[in-house]
Amino acid sequence: MTVSSELRTLSDEHAAHTYHPLPVVIATAEGVWVTDADGHRYLDMLAAYSAVNFGHRNPRLTAKAKEQLDRVTLVSRAFEHDKFGPFVTDLAALCGKDMVLPMNSGAEGVETAIKTARKWGYEVKGVPADQANIIVFSGNFHGRTTTIISFSDDPEAHEHYGPYTPGFRTVPYGDIDAVRAAIDGSTVGVLVEPIQGEAGVNVPPDGFLRALRALCTEANVLMIDDEIQAGLGRAGDTFAAQHEDVVPDIYILGKALGGGIMPVSAVVADRDVLGVFQPGQHGSTFGGNPLACAIGREVVAILKEGTYQRHSKELGAYMHERLATFTGVASVSGRGLWAGLHLDRKARPVSERLMELGVLAKETHETTIRLAPPLSITREELDWALDQVETALADH
């Protein structure tokens, strides 16, 4: 039995089966490459669902983490620490907003944005108590907490967890007329992914985000932009909504904000929105901890340089151009270094064949394969990976 097989046996016996991973056990990683427990090397074309946008063990980020590990890692928000103020200041500036509320996981960020919108609705907009509603979209994926899965239309995420949290109205993704029809005087927000990741890297119709921004302004409703997976360089801009020159009222950030080292998320908005919170009304023991802030601030510094965004945009256009020529692909969606390959057959066997060929990618929704390499990938590495994708498609 191989080392990987022994380790997988332990996982199968003692871990809850909430995932169906590919049969590979990663032991080390650097840049776009990972190596399993038996020494086999793979090119990572998933990047931990965009959490590793800047490459595995990015030298700048690991250096900041190691430096902070030798100083202080956690004090809770009961005290200030020397990394907190600089981090929130720099992140607010990157977003063009006034204030930051740091959390940990992406789901916590979404929950925080929901609480923010409701509190703003009651205290600023004047919505009657307990009547606030938030508009969401079909095919959404914002996390797995009880409230968030209450408005999921994915049966695997939704079923058998009721009773469900009320206060959400689902409309078709990309349908601005449906959003307009769903808004009433008690609507406090529209929660949108600028590109839907879990649904298959779905891009909305051109102009949809601009129209949504205008509609939210007109109706005095907060536009809540979930950039957790789509943002921080993945789609070719710092924020995916920038493709249509849209600035939302609330950004939800996560995944890549932690540099692939630890969970870091944040809600970012202006003072008239996040200013509704007073001490004791929301918080997190680990949110905004010194280690997270040290890493997150360096992520912001990297993003301010714009190199990864440009690389994603330019190399992403090339990737999409090549993918469009592959046999066996019904359609390709996405933007930047992010693509959904929609197949005319089951995607799992193709993912498994790719693994045999030395490329790691993962299926979603039965017939789609997501490709999202670290943004540090070179043209040569991408070409090699795409060659393997073409081979795997031909083999199945």
Report how far residue 96's alpha carbon sits from residue 209's, in angstroms, rounded to the nearest whole number. Answer: 18
Structure-block tokens of residue 177: 């007329």
- DSSP E strand stretches across 263-382: 265-269, 329-334, 339-343, 359-360, 362-364, 368-371
Report how far residue 334's alpha carbon sits from residue 93's, in angstroms, rounded to the nearest whole number. Answer: 28
- Residue 266 main-chain phi, psi, to 5 deg: -160, 150
Classify residue 39 as exposed, middle or buried by CB count within 10 Å of its CB (0-12, 13-18, 19+): exposed
382 vs 71, 231, 371, 372, 375, CA distance in Å?
38, 21, 11, 11, 10
Task: Please name the amino acid found at residue 319.
Answer: M
Place of tokens 């994915």: 154
| Residues acting as catalytic residues | 141, 226, 255
Structure-block tokens of residue 14: 């003692």
Closest CA to 385 of 33, 23, 29: 33
Which positions ≥6 away from 220 have C-beta within 8 Å?
125
Tell me how far the alpha carbon of residue 350 is from its chain's centroid: 24
